[in-house]
Structure 1
Amino acid sequence: MDFQDCFELNQLYANYASAVSSGEWELWPEFFTDDCIYRLQPRENYERGFPLATLSFESKGMLKDRVYGIRETLFHDPYYQRNVTGAPVIRKAEAGRYECEANYAVFRTKLSELSSVFNVGRYIDVVVRTEQGLKFASRLVIYDSEMIPNSVIYPI
């Protein structure tokens, strides 16, 4: 793996965190391949091999449907979300394919309240090189707590 690949991989993670913190949800699906996997799952279920997940999407089209739901059909108290992501650790690198892991923390700020920690955990990713650059083929969002407050509206 050369410097350019490392730089592009770090940019992918930084740009993803920026996009999901911006509230411009239409940007989110564009970080993924068409036949991607995105799964939000508690750590206990992941480590035990249980398939139960809080959210599970199996294509870019499903991610776009989620964006539509956020914009048009879900009703909730508005809040801001700020994602902070650590530098990705590259577990395996092959030609145009990278298996990576990175820690994350998500902070939530409701309009009339102090910011609070909403969710923390790690991303377990498969990143592939496409004609459009690096994209997530698979993103497992493994959160540490067995409980999450209320519901998850926005992507993590």
Structure 2
Amino acid sequence: MLDFETYQQLVALYTDYAATVDNNEWDKWPEFFTQHCVYKVQARENYDRGFPLATLSFESKGMLKDRVYGMTETIFHDPYYQRHVVGAPRIVSVDDARIQAEANYAVFRTKPDEMTTVFNVGRYIDTIVRTDSGLKFESRLCVFDSEMIANSLIYPI
């Protein structure tokens, strides 16, 4: 069972994460993760079948920082804004070391001269650990529902 204070910290982790990526605060994004972490964006079809293929797959905080460098310094793309709508986290399990949680998400994308579109919809499957600096993601798996994904997945989900 998760106490109320820890649940509030978990909700803050989810909302602060969404605000950070929505506001393009890319240097802050890796700080939501532990040093040895996993971050994947994977199609539901592959996840459900147990296939390892993921659209994005990073296995350390260093790899997340490399992605930030790539997004900000080397990848050229049409500019766009994204906005996350994240459901309340559902606690799957809790022990002394980890919290397993899931939450539904929808990401909307707006290009400056176009209408807003639904960009990506799915669920987060997370493993969260307590650290001296608060709750951090040890693993964040973004399982998107569509079998197709836009060819311009630049920013984190």
Report deviation, 1:22: 0.4
- Percentage of pairs with the same residue: 65
Query: Which residue in the other structure is 1:59 paired with?
Result: 60
In the alignment, what sits opposite 1:29?
30
Provide the alpha-carbon RMSD of the alignment.
0.6
Q: Which amino acid aligns with 2:77?
A: H
Unaligned runs of 5+ in 2: none
Structure 1 residue ranges, 4+ long, deviating more than 2 angstroms after superposition: none
Q: Partner residue of 1:122?
A: 123
Once residues 125 and 88 of structure 2 are traced to their aligned partners in structure 1, the CA distance between those partners, rounded to angstroms, is 12
- Give the C-alpha shift of residue 42 in structure 1: 0.1
Counterpart Cα distance in 2 of 1:31 and 1:116: 27
Match runs of 1:62-141 below 5 Å: 62-141=63-142
AA matched with 1:111: P
Residue by residue over 1:75-125, the C-alpha shift from the partner in whole angstroms, topping out at 9 and shown as x without a partner, is: 000000111111100000111410000000000000100111000000000
Matched AA of 1:105: A
Q: Distance in 2 between matches of 1:54 and 1:149?
A: 11
Q: 2:13 — aligned with what?
A: 12
**For this pair of structures, how many residues does the alignment match?**
156
User: Where in structure 1 are there 5+ consecutive unaligned residues?
Assistant: none
TM-score normalised by the chain length of structure 2? 0.98
